[in-house]
A and B are shown apart, each in its own frame.
Chain A
Amino acid sequence: MEPTVKPIVSMKDIEKHFGSVIALNGVSVDILPGECHCLLGDNGAGKSTFIKTMSGVHRPTSGEIFFEGRPMSFADPRDAIAAGIATVYQDLAMIPLMSVSRNFFMGNEPIRRIAGLPFFDHDLANRVTMEEMQSMGINLRGPDQAVGTLSGGERQTVAIARAVYFGAKVLILDEPTSALGVRQTSNVLATIDKVRKKGIAVVFITHNVRHAMAVGDRFTVLNRGQTLGTAERGEITPEELQDMMAGGQEMATLEGSLGGTV
């Protein structure tokens, strides 16, 4: 790691307990600007708890979070969003019954004053939505098209475009590809690449090593609430990552019997 690049988010020794359950047991991760940081782990490894801590949903039981070098304490997701940490949840990103433009500006509605009264500026919202969607490569029938008519990949892309448009410095993607087909997955991965090139840090949560290897700059593996270390691109092979995720030995055995197809 080059010491000259300062991490935008730095999580140090994060612990999170739910009653007697220790979900995170001393996790430390640095996120650099403009990198795609892949967070890998099997189900139950603590990925969800970790990103919810980063995005302000949970408060850590102990440990510190530094954002742009300053210690931060987020009371709720709004604080995190205001600071520039945006999260795109797998199922909870979009509201299917609402139009794309209403979704795009949900919680950040543009205001135009008429006779001193604040009104939703639909013209601006529609225009921006169409522009942003085109720059991400999605052609809408119109800004009033309901999100419910979009495919899963397109919905993820709308959510990502929304976060980027509203000035996210760190974009957390929670399993964005897990329910998608091949074509849609590659679209989402391409979107991630575009976002990274804008200098935004992407935290990409997945349990699919291929997807991670496709766009990741650095890789952190979580297992049983602990980090098994962070590796840079080129320092590690997909097989090694897969092993670390599964906790080593048994997976190697299993993989052997499956002929390296997992």
Chain B
Amino acid sequence: MADTPQAVIDERVKDVSPWRKALIRPELGGIIGTVAVFTFFALLAHDSGMFNAQGILNWSTVSAQFMIIAVGACLLMIAGEFDLSVGSMIGFAGMMIAIFGVTLGWPMWIAILVTFAICMAFGALNGVIVVRTGLPSFIVTLATLFILRGFTIFIPQTLERKTIIGGIREAAEGDWLAALFGGTIGRPFFQWLGDAGVIGVFDRGNRAGEPVVNGVPMLIIWAFVLIVFGHILLTRTRFGNWIFAAGGDAQAARYAGVPVDRVKILMFVFTAFCATVFATCQVMEFGSAGADRGLLKEFEAIIAVVIGGALLTGGYGSVIGAALGALIFGVVQQGLFFANVESSLFRVFLGVILLLAVILNTYIRRIITGER
């Protein structure tokens, strides 16, 4: 900013150290956490397979799952709202794809598109109820959590008399849209890596000779695309400014002419979209939809966002931070297994990280707002 007029130094404004200045960037906690977590596991689990190709694929896939729902939850939280129905939405969306594509036998691309439409309509409904009634989104989406989970169990039981519907992979064979969610890309590259001995290959069975990692899952591609989209939307567009404003102080934003209701409803729709992407990738990879899919995922999304530096009260946060939060979450969750730590201690670890993140966030908030 060369052409910024030189400000006259006001003696009452204290100079701010670079450290404090960096601290008010919402990504900082995420960056420090990421470095800390990788250092921790590099020391503790370096020879456990965590950092071979298969291990890396494992924790990056898990992290990518968290990232997909964290991007939606992040933008919604910055806009000042929560969505607790994300987990149920994942189960519901997967089940709808199975019902339409397998039970009813529709072409898979129609099944996917209709599912997206239904789920985003539910997202919009969440949003409309929240902005029209002024009720806390916590309660409204808690209701949606139960409603969607109930349908996810009821519909397949009524139609198929079971709660897991399989055969999705077969039904999706050769479908152009399904290929965007399932499968992998970059297979020749990984084959070459396998042949060159950089990564391991299967040494028996009908896939002998194939590399153990045969491409980057579309799930990871989706995570990347959503993060880039969310980050640009938030920081580089007019709409992004409205998201901050809607969450920072809805009334002030309204007085300034920001269409707060529209922003919030759209963010609910976007959160539902992210949940449906998650679900579609999941059913395409595993080939079946189950009534208990996605349990507690809403909290995992919120935790990733908070670790990533967003304030629970809205108006502040970053998509990159949320993505790093999801990475930390995924690496810790899978890494503790690699490090041979008793798996029930995962929650202890997670709780400690969450607590640290929230304390740090509160501290940051005080710095920004100058509260004493």
Same complex origin of A and B: yes
- B371/A107 in contact, CB under 8 A: no
On chain A, the residues within 8 Å of B370 by CB distance are 146, 148-150
Q: Does B295 interact with chain A (Cβ within 8 Å)?
A: no
Are A106's CB and B241's CB within 8 A?
yes
- Do A141 and B13 touch across chains, with their CB atoms under 8 A apart? yes
Interfacial residues of chain A within 65-99, with CB under 8 A of chain B in the complex: 77-78, 81, 87, 89, 92-98
Task: Give Cα A176 to B357, complex, Å.
Answer: 37
**Which residues on B sit within 8 Å (CB–CB) of A97?**
244, 248, 311, 315-316, 365, 368-369
Q: CB-CB < 8 A to B311: which residues of A?
A: 97
* B343 contacts the other chain (CB 8 A): no
Query: Is A62 part of the contact surface with B, judged by Cβ < 8 Å?
Result: no
Residues on the A chain within 8 Å of B253, using CB:
95, 106-107
Q: By the criterion CB–CB under 8 Å, are B7 and A95 in contact?
A: no
- Taking CB atoms, residues of chain B closer than 8 Å to A123 are 1
* CB nearest neighbor in A for B9: A139
Closest CB in chain A relative to B284 CB, distance in Å: 30
- B266 to chain A minimum Cβ distance, whole angstroms, is 16
Q: Give the shortest distance, in Å, between B29 (CB) and chain A (any CB).
A: 16
Bitwise, B10-29 to A at CB < 8 A (1) or not (0) is 10010010000000100000
A-B contact count (CB 8 A): 110
Contact present for B315 and A95 (CB under 8 Å):
yes
The CA of A150 and the CA of B255, in the complex, are separated in Å by 20
User: What count of chain A residues pass the 8 Å CB interface test?
Assistant: 38
Chain B residue with minimal CB distance to A148? B369
Least CB separation from A147: chain B residue = B369
A46 at the interface (CB under 8 A from B): no
Complex: how many Å from CA A77 to CA B256?
8
B9, B257, B258, B371, most chain A CB atoms within 10 A: B257
Chain B, 235-258, CB within 8 A of any chain A CB: 235-238, 240-242, 244-245, 248-249, 251-258
Contact B249 A139 (CB under 8 A): no
When the two chains form their complex, are residues A87 and B238 in contact, meaning their CB atoms are under 8 A apart? no
Interface residues of A in 109-146 (CB under 8 A from B): 109, 111, 118-120, 122-123, 126-127, 130-131, 134, 139-143, 146
**Interface membership of B344, Cβ < 8 A:** no
- Kindly supply a per-residue 1/0 record for chain B positions 39-82, scoring 1 wherever the CB is within 8 Å of any chain A CB and 0 otherwise: 00000000000000000000000000000000000000000000
Q: Find out whether the CB atom of B257 lies under 8 angstroms from the CB atom of A107.
A: yes
In the complex, which residues of chain A have a beta carbon less than 8 angstroms from the beta carbon of B256?
106-108
Instruction: Check B245–A98 contact: CB distance below 8 A.
Output: yes
Q: Would you call B258 and A120 a contact (CB within 8 A)?
A: no
CB-based nearest A residue for B1: A126
- Does B16 contact A141, Cβ atoms closer than 8 Å? yes
Query: Which residue on A lies nearest to B245, using beta carbons?
Result: A106
Interface residues of A in 143-171 (CB under 8 A from B): 143, 146, 148-150
Determine if A119 and B315 form an interchain contact, defined as CB atoms under 8 angstroms apart: no
B342 interface contact, C-beta 8 A: no
B130-169 with Cβ < 8 A to chain A: none
> Which of B8, B244, B257, B365 is A81 in contact with, Cβ under 8 Å?
B257
CB–CB A102/B368 < 8 A: no
16 A-B contact pairs sorted by A residue (CB < 8 Å): A87-B255, A92-B252, A97-B368, A98-B248, A105-B241, A106-B242, A106-B253, A106-B256, A111-B238, A119-B236, A126-B4, A139-B13, A140-B7, A142-B7, A146-B369, A148-B371
A-B complex: 9 closest residue pairs judged by Cβ atoms: A148-B369, A95-B248, A107-B257, A109-B238, A107-B256, A149-B370, A97-B315, A92-B252, A106-B256
Q: A: which residues have CB within 8 A of B? A: 77-78, 81, 87, 89, 92-98, 102, 105-109, 111, 118-120, 122-123, 126-127, 130-131, 134, 139-143, 146, 148-150
